[in-house]
Amino acid sequence: MGADFSQPQRQSSIGILVMFFYTLQYYARALWPMIVIWIFKFDEVNKLYFFFGMLALFVSVGVVSYLKYLNFTFFLDAENQEFIITDGVFNKTKTAIQLRKIQQVNINQSFIQKLIGVYELDVDTAGSNKKEGAIQAISQELALELKFRLLENEDIKNEIGAEETVLEETEQKLFEAAHPFIKISFLSLLKVGITSNYGRSIALLVIFFSTIYENFQNFGEESNAYKEKVGLYIDKNVVLQTILISILLLFVVVLVVNVIRTVFKYYDYRIARQKGSLLLSFGLLNTKSTIIKPEKVQITSVTRNYFQKKMGILELQIKQATGGEKEERKSIIEIPGCSEAERDSILTLLFHQIPEKGVMLQPNFRKLVFSVILSIGLPLFGFMAVGHWIEPIIFEYNYVMPIYVIFIGAIQYFKFKNDRLFIHENFIIKQSGAWDVSNDIIEPSKIQAITTSQLFWHKKLDIGSITLHTAGGNIAFQLGNYSVLQQQVNFWLYEIETSDSNWM
């Protein structure tokens, strides 16, 4: 018999332990200065007071955890089509979430919850930057069934008198969750960890060596005698070899950390079909499970670099409606290490067909010139100005400038070469990137607003820029054929007005 969510019910009783640990963690964060003092001055602290203080802390945490469990209830109001949550310790708060506004329901499991054997269910709605409701201790079966009820709210009115049908559907969903049609292998995760996040690795290298160099300079200023001894005994070739070896070792360490982070985050990545939706579950220590409904998807990005292409893998990112720029990155759903066949399967389920690129628009070469001026011309001018008028010693490092010009110039060239806008009757695809080439896919019906701009000196050239605003982020294309863009804008606006898609 299916679970009855029409009556208020509490979380799993063992969930009191989860609330105890979370409340204790909250107290520890609030009282950490006092805890640090106690640790370093433990011998000076009155042991009796310390014992009773800790006892009082644990008792108060236990009482608060029990009251949280006792006062927390949740149920589905089928008449008003709402999900009702009541919580609080001494003052109770009642939260009513309209089912039609629910954007996403996630099932997560932290390390503590995994030890205890319960799950957490989070409810998010579009246009908000926080979770509207969270159930911290619930069984997996109950969490899955509640998730399906929340996301398939159009069937709630028919649940009364149809318990057998609900039970059959729930069993089918549990079977589908246990038999995924895509499973990202451990080898694919290793490939992703090795071939991604180069920018982060380079940034860590720069920060590390900048800090080492600064500390060495400060120490050298305080100890001239030591500096003279170092100059006598250290050969320049040895120093150069040491620096190169250090860079290599640090890069290997960063690479290993990146691989470990990827494996821990996406371990046992499974994707299952469920009535036209995607059920994703992944994670080693912290397990996450979420459902993606195709009509809720705003932007789908397919990203791949040279190494990933040779290894036969790519990365997918799915963006749904968010409540702001801060939440945009957090709400991105990543699917790493997909093959081309798996990519096509996912895109077919999301869009009911594989997106086609259609007509291609490319930016005017003036965009490349402008980018080169900003990224190369201005820094070179600043370098020459500082060396000529402020600090001539900077010219001793002029050998770095050719390397900088070649590196940044290559990046700008490949960014310009890959910058394309593809327009199809059913899809808009924005291609971008220098090393990691990304294709952002949206449907015209998902556009919320369109911004076009044209500088007066670009009118004779008939070039301009466009920005497509969606609930999952913006897509911009600069210095393209303005006449073609304006023609497409009229078509897209008509598409927006006549579309009846339910993406919210």
Task: Say whether both 43 and 99 belong to one domain.
Answer: yes
Task: Say whether both 354 and 440 belong to one domain.
Answer: yes
Task: Say whether both 352 and 489 belong to one domain.
Answer: yes
Region 248-267: what's the mean pLDDT? 83
- Sheet harboring 93-98: ordered strands across? 73-77, 82-87, 93-98
Burial environment of residue 294 by CB neighbours within 10 A (0 to 12, 13 to 18, 19 or more): middle
Range of the domain at 483: 293-363+419-498
pLDDT given for residue 284 in this prediction:
86
- Backbone φ/ψ region at 305: left (φ over 0), alpha (ψ -120 to 50), beta: beta
Task: Say whether both 399 and 254 belong to one domain.
Answer: no
β-pair type (420-423, 359-361)? antiparallel
> Which of these three, 126, 149, 182, is where a domain ends?
182
Task: Say whether both 97 and 207 belong to one domain.
Answer: no
pLDDT at 431 over 50: yes
Region 177-183: what's the mean pLDDT? 66
What's the farthest any 2 CA atoms get from each other in the chain? 91
The structural domain count of the chain equals 4
- The residues that bridge with 123 in the sheet, in sequence order, are 105, 133
**Interhelix angle for 400-418 vs 378-385, to 10°?**
160
Task: Say whether both 125 and 61 belong to one domain.
Answer: yes
β-pair type (437-442, 449-453)? unpaired
- Of residues 227 and 33, more confidently modeled: 33
User: Could you tell me the pLDDT band of residue 301, with boundaries at 50, 70 and 90?
Assistant: very high
**What are the tens digits of pLDDT across the range 357-366?**
989 999 999 9
In angstroms, the Cα distances linking 270 to 266, 340, 348 are 9, 16, 17
Task: Say whether both 354 and 486 belong to one domain.
Answer: yes
**What are the tens digits of pLDDT across the range 241-257?**
776 787 777 778 778 88
Task: Say whether both 55 and 133 belong to one domain.
Answer: yes
Please report whether residue 6 resides in a domain. Answer: no
Task: Say whether both 258 and 335 belong to one domain.
Answer: no
> Which of these three, 266, 284, 316, is where a domain ends?
266
pLDDT given for residue 213 in this prediction:
59
Task: Say whether both 490 and 349 belong to one domain.
Answer: yes
**What are the tens digits of pLDDT across the range 144-166?**
788 878 876 544 444 434 444 44
Per-chain mean pLDDT for the chain:
80
Task: Say whether both 380 and 309 belong to one domain.
Answer: no
pLDDT given for residue 8 in this prediction:
87
